[in-house]
Amino acid sequence: MTRLRQVLGLDAVDLIIHIGVTLALMGFVGVSDGPEELYPVLTGVSLLVLGVRRSIALRNSERRGLTTGEMTAERIAELEQRMLDLEAAQGRIAELEERLDFTERLLAQAAIEHRPLGPGGLQ
């Protein structure tokens, strides 16, 4: 895990996007001849949003304890295990179908062999 992610809970890309959005809003205020009092307000709001994002990101990373790559690897391993379980279940179903077919053939054969004889010993 990078130092930036440990401290802020955010990647460099997230931080750059956050700064870019803040600067874009400040640029909009400057271009639209907005009141200069909005600059400190935008800065404060931006820092507040960054703090909330940091808190959420750190809480989520503590909960998971895994990086994105580790989570992906864990999820792939889980899906592979599910596939193995599914293939094993399909094999058991195929074996049960074969046993059922065999039992049906035995029952049909026994029914033919044990037919009661008609009058006079003829079938």
Q: Would you say the pTM of this structure is higher than 0.75?
A: no
Residue-wise pLDDT for 85-105, tens only, equals 999 999 999 999 999 999 999
- Tokens 């193995």, residue located: 84
Average pLDDT over residues 47-62: 81
% the chain with pLDDT above 70: 83
C-beta separation of 29 from 37 below 8 A: no
Average pLDDT over residues 52-73: 73
- Sorting pLDDT into bands at 50, 70 and 90, what band is 63? low
Cα distance between residue 64 and residue 45, in whole Å: 28
